[in-house]
Amino acid sequence: MSFISASGVKFAYEDSDKLALKGITLKVNKGEFVALLGHNGCGKSTMAKTLNALLTPSEGVIYVDGMDTSDEEVTYEIRRNVGLVLQNPDNQLVASIIEEDVAFGPENLGVEPAEIRRRVDNALKAVGMYEYRTHAPHKLSGGQKQRVAIAGILAMEPSCIVFDEPTAMLDPNGREEVMRTIKTLKEKGITIVLITHYMEEAVLADRVIVMDEGEILIQGEPEKVFSQVNLLKKHALDVPQATELAYKLIGAGLRFSKMPLNTDECVHLLEEALG
């Protein structure tokens, strides 16, 4: 069942005569983990903001759990159902104590104090930050801050979380922390839309959607998308490092039964190819 359904979505910013989105049609199923890829300026962050009604289409329509994002009467309910985690966690941290920061969203929803306490504790435990609940956010690492920002969204109990390049400002350890958290949320049945430019993150998704100049270039399971190396390279897009290595080895005459997506797959396929 589609939790998000977009049909013919076009969008142009007021100060631009160029369309940022040029007729996007896509679906995201309930509980699915979808990665959205593309160059800077391809429209993927604009698309993210349309999914929780921060932006509404100039043309076309987006439904979230059956609700039209352009219907102002359901905007509140849509934003309660679709949380948005931004690139810079400092832009989402509002309090001087971690547990107070996580409580901010539920408090604004009018949730009872006892229920807020339960939600805050559960959210911090879900992202592995419960033991830091009385700490100050500014003393945390980048990865820890991002996990607290995710906890703040989780405390509002959304059905879906859209991550807009949440690891772009983090070091490798921080990226690993956040991706581990996203994987855990997916296992809990939360619908995930991850906007990223790291191919190694995208291969973890159930489905990959590649955007280019406001349009969908290709979409499908990671194996299908990243096997289209020539198409992606033609549009100056990257592939995972393991796939890139296999592509070059195939060009040198080696045969692979399929394109590897990660190091382990690449090692196994190399052993197979070399007999």
Q: What one-letter code names the amino acid at 256? A: F
Percent of the chain with pLDDT over 90: 64
Looking at residue 131, what DSSP letter applies? G
Please say whether the beta carbons of 92 and 152 come within 8 A.
yes
Please say whether the beta carbons of 102 and 148 come within 8 A.
yes
Q: Give residue-wise pLDDT tens across range 19-70.
A: 999 999 999 999 999 999 998 889 999 999 999 999 999 999 999 999 999 9
Q: Give residue-wise pLDDT tens across range 116-156.
A: 999 999 999 989 899 999 999 989 999 999 999 999 999 99
| Cα angle 257-36-63, degrees, rounded to a multiple of 5 | 125
| Cα angle 183-186-191, degrees, rounded to a multiple of 5 | 135
Name 187's Cβ contacts closer than 8 Å, sequence gap at least 6.
Answer: none
Q: Is the pLDDT of residue 209 over 90?
A: yes
Best CA proximity match to 197, nearest among 174, 169, 173, 234: 169
Best CA proximity match to 84, nearest among 177, 166, 200: 166
Structural domains of the chain ordered from first start: 2-221 (3.40.50.300)
Q: Give residue-wise pLDDT tens across range 179-191.
A: 998 999 999 899 9
pTM of the model as a whole: 0.89
